[in-house]
Structure 1
Amino acid sequence: MPKSNIHPNWFTNTSIVCDGKPLCLIGSTKQELQIDIWLANHPFYTDSLVLVDSEGRVEKFMKKYQFDSIT
């Protein structure tokens, strides 16, 4: 017999939230999903050169390889 009670709980109406705004409902093992980037604010889809960098990785890369700017 397979083991019982080994699977996580499944929530059918999990809300996806970005910047405090609910985006949609999906099925997930979590009750709410917080995301930072999605289609409407992703730099690739919005044609913006603004990079989301919370840990300074872009600056570290730029300094390491001696780039002046991102263009």
Structure 2
Amino acid sequence: MKKDLHPEYKRTMASCACGNTLEVGSTRDEIKVEICSKCHPFFTGKQKLVDTAGRIDRFKKKYAGFDAAAAAKKK
């Protein structure tokens, strides 16, 4: 194996914008992230569910006869 080919892997601190810090392994000296498991909506339970039922219903209504119309044009 070649010497000095791989960077040094070391323990470093990853800090989040919310103030949370984690000790992780990395080749970098310092890691800064915008979001972590402490502040991410999925992990905190503050997740917003987007109601797209109205959009889907409008789409289905708009294109309901599309297949029948396309088949009629082919004949």
Q: Which has the higher helix share?
A: 2
In the TM superposition, what whole-angstrom CA distance separates every residue of 1:38-66 from its partner, at most 9, and x where no partner exists?
1111111222236xxxxxxxxxxxxxxxx
Structure 1: stretches of 5+ with no match in the other structure: 51-68
Q: Give the number of aligned pairs.
A: 51
Choose 1 or 2 for highest CA Rg.
Answer: 2
TM-score (norm 2): 0.52
Residue in 2 that maps onto 1:33: 31
Matches of 1:26 and 1:17, distance apart in 2: 10
Deviation at 1:37, TM superposition (A): 1.8
Structure 1 vs Structure 2 CA RMSD: 2.3
Q: Which has the higher strand share?
A: 1
Structure 2: stretches of 5+ with no match in the other structure: 52-75
TM-score (norm 1): 0.55
* % identity of equivalent residues: 27
